[in-house]
Chains A and B, each alone.
Chain A
Amino acid sequence: MLSPLVLVVFFSFGSNQNATFPVGALTLDWYRVLFKNPEFWVGLKNSLVITVSVGVLSTVIGTCAAMGITKLKSTKANTVISALSLPIMMPPLVLALALVSIYSGLGIRMGVHTVIMSHLVFTQPFVIVIVNAQLANFNFASVDSARDLGASPMRSFFDIVLPNIRPTIIGAALIAMAISLDDFIITFFTIGNGMTLPTLIWGMMRTSLDPSINALGTLVLFATIGFSAIALRITKYQS
């Protein structure tokens, strides 16, 4: 499963133009080419804004929802979780086109903000599932004890619940960010004329056989894999 990805990394440091063996001499040329490309910096900025916003928003919304879900009866909780997870199952193309249709139908200008909104719908289920799984193991008697000792509901959340699920929340946020950064189809359709790193890759793949694509691919790869690897580490892959 790893090897195709390793290849991309490999080629990004090789001097061979055609991304075939032999790789050629070790070089950082493709990264230099990439960094001279102004589009790269535009895409990077947009990707950063989108990834961070989606990470923060979906984590807050998802954690609230997970808290709410733990208060429901288990059958109802399962129904809510399955319903909220439907967007993951939906082919991204269909979701993207539906979103584009409604944005243009309502006359909403598309850009980075519409991408952020659109990403929320399929990143929040991941946060909900991950946080909910952790809360299922959480002993709510300790919250009751805190309340009994005089803590307000808010206070008891920040003092008791949050410290216990903090790693999970950070993990969930990183997963949401990795998914957001990884998405191409929905971003492509909902960003209007804008550009992110994945759409830049798309453009490069279609137009040229520019080996700096390997360099860009490697960067995106390390970012998403980095996020998820750290996330899995902290959450100890509970989900």
Chain B
Amino acid sequence: MQDQKTKILLAPAALVFTGLFVVPLSYFFVISFWRIRLYKLVQDFSFSNYVSVFQEYMHAAVFTFFISLTIAIVTTFLAFAIAYLVRFKAGRFGPFILYIAMVTMFGGYLVKIYAWKTILGTNGILNSAMLWVGMIDEPLSWLLYSPVAVVLTLLHFLLPLALLPLVGALNSITDDPILVARDLGATGYRTLVDIILPQCQPGIVSAFALSFFISAGDYVTPRLVGGPDTFMVGNFIESQFVNRLNAPLGAALAFSTLTICLIALALFRILLSRSLAPK
């Protein structure tokens, strides 16, 4: 009876989850083994798509991997610093900082990219400001349309998202163990490493995973601020669909990227828990 009711309550959400997440992704996965002939999907079971992924897109995958890793590490680090300030140092301003951060979370994905475009452009604010101050003699053209611009834009977009799990993790740490550690002779740094960080592990992993996956799968940012040389896997996946109408290859590319990301995430997790394990 009680079980029945729980099931009924969960049913719609489970339906949405299954019908619009599990099934489409499974289908998408199946497609990655199909082929395209005369612009039509042909059911098949071949690894040829994955083979071409390895042959043709390795460079893009490696580039995407490193740029996403950079973004994820920097974002997680900065988000942790902010969350740490909010929890331990900012006192009354903590909630206010958090409020601003959360509000900017939904500031419009495209609008943010657009904003960075105007900031980093040749006639943009940053160049104008540096020219005016006299730091540079002519505008830096590499600011926009470069990997730097992609990193900055995604960092700005991801920071509030990454902040959420970290604030949650830090808030669930009670004060007592921290006071005890100090009482037992721990310095601020030791308390951070021995007591606070190990307890934030799930939050750190979530923040990292979130920034890493979203960066690795993004194609809008590199398209708009990345310039001609910053092609990430997302751009290739998208173009397989939109321009070449080769869904199977796009799917294979997507799942290869996901797999690499998952392996990287697993490695990150292991490394993190190794380095934070109490000795």
In their complex, do chains A and B touch, with some C-beta pair under 8 Å? yes
Query: Contact residues of A with B, CB < 8 Å?
Result: 1-2, 4-5, 7-8, 11, 18-21, 60-62, 64-65, 67-69, 71-72, 80, 83-84, 86-95, 97-102, 105, 117-118, 120-121, 124, 128, 153, 178-179, 181-185, 198, 201-202, 205, 213, 217, 220-221, 224-225, 227-229, 232, 237, 239
Contact (A97, B220) CB under 8 Å given A20-B121, A201-B111: no
Question: What's the minimum C-beta distance from A61 to chain B, rounded to whole angstroms?
Answer: 4
B25 touches A64 (CB 8 A): no
Residues of B99-139 at the interface with A, using a CB-CB cut-off of 8 Å, are 99-119, 121, 123-125, 128
B10 touches A68 (CB 8 A): yes
Question: What's the minimum C-beta distance from B46 to chain A, rounded to whole angstroms?
Answer: 18
Contact (A20, B111) CB under 8 Å given A64-B13, A101-B31: no
A93 touches B20 (CB 8 A): no
Contact (A121, B128) CB under 8 Å given A1-B101, A89-B210, A91-B217: no
B125 touches A20 (CB 8 A): yes
B217 touches A198 (CB 8 A): no
A120 touches B107 (CB 8 A): no
Q: How far is the CA of A102 from the CA of B156 in the complex (A)?
A: 33
A93 touches B251 (CB 8 A): no
Q: How far is the CA of A83 from the CA of B25 in the complex (A)?
A: 14
B244 at the interface (CB under 8 A from A): no
B66 at the interface (CB under 8 A from A): no
Q: How far is the CA of A179 from the CA of B106 in the complex (A)?
A: 7
Question: What's the minimum C-beta distance from B266 to chain A, rounded to whole angstroms?
Answer: 14
Of all chain B residues, the one with the shortest Cβ separation from A58 is: B16
Point out the residue from B5, B17, B110, B119 that lies within 8 Å of A83, measured CB to CB.
B17
Residues of B197-232 at the interface with A, using a CB-CB cut-off of 8 Å, are 209-210, 213-214, 216-220, 224
A95 touches B168 (CB 8 A): no
Of all chain B residues, the one with the shortest Cβ separation from A200 is: B110
B9 touches A65 (CB 8 A): yes
Question: What's the minimum C-beta distance from B194 to chain A, rounded to whole angstroms?
Answer: 26
B250 at the interface (CB under 8 A from A): yes
Question: What's the minimum C-beta distance from B217 to chain A, rounded to whole angstroms?
Answer: 2
B250 touches A20 (CB 8 A): no
A237 touches B98 (CB 8 A): yes
Q: How far is the CA of A121 from the CA of B20 in the complex (A)?
A: 6
Q: How far is the CA of A65 from the CA of B7 in the complex (A)?
A: 9
Question: What's the minimum C-beta distance from B13 to chain A, rounded to whole angstroms?
Answer: 4
Point out the residue from B24, B209, B218 that lies within 8 Å of A101, measured CB to CB.
B24
Contact (A21, B27) CB under 8 Å given A8-B115, A198-B109, A224-B107: no
B57 at the interface (CB under 8 A from A): no
B234 at the interface (CB under 8 A from A): yes
Q: Classify the interface of chain A: helix, strand, loop or mixed.
A: helix
Please tell me the size bucket of the interface on B: 35 or more
Q: Shortest 4 CB-CB distances between A and B: which pairs?
A: A91-B217, A68-B9, A65-B13, A98-B28
Contact (A221, B107) CB under 8 Å given A68-B10, A91-B214: yes
B100 touches A1 (CB 8 A): yes
Interface bits B1-36 vs A (CB < 8 Å: 1, else 0): 010011111101110110011011101100100000
Q: Which residues of A contact B247 (CB under 8 A)?
A: 97, 101
Point out the residue from B20, B164, B241 that lies within 8 Å of A118, measured CB to CB.
B20
Q: Which residues of A contact B28 (CB under 8 A)?
A: 94, 97-98, 101-102
B250 touches A227 (CB 8 A): no
Question: What's the minimum C-beta distance from A172 to chain B, rounded to whole angstroms?
Answer: 13
Q: How far is the CA of A35 from the CA of B25 in the complex (A)?
A: 39
Q: Which residues of B contact A201 (CB under 8 A)?
A: 108, 110-111, 114
Q: Which residues of A contact B111 (CB under 8 A)?
A: 5, 8, 201, 217, 220-221
Q: Which residues of A contact B117 (CB under 8 A)?
A: 205
Question: What's the minimum C-beta distance from B104 to chain A, rounded to whole angstroms?
Answer: 5
Q: Which residues of A contact B234 (CB under 8 A)?
A: 91, 93
Known A80-B10, A121-B16; 12 more pairs at CB < 8 Å: A1-B101, A87-B17, A87-B21, A95-B25, A97-B28, A97-B250, A105-B27, A105-B41, A181-B106, A217-B108, A224-B106, A237-B98
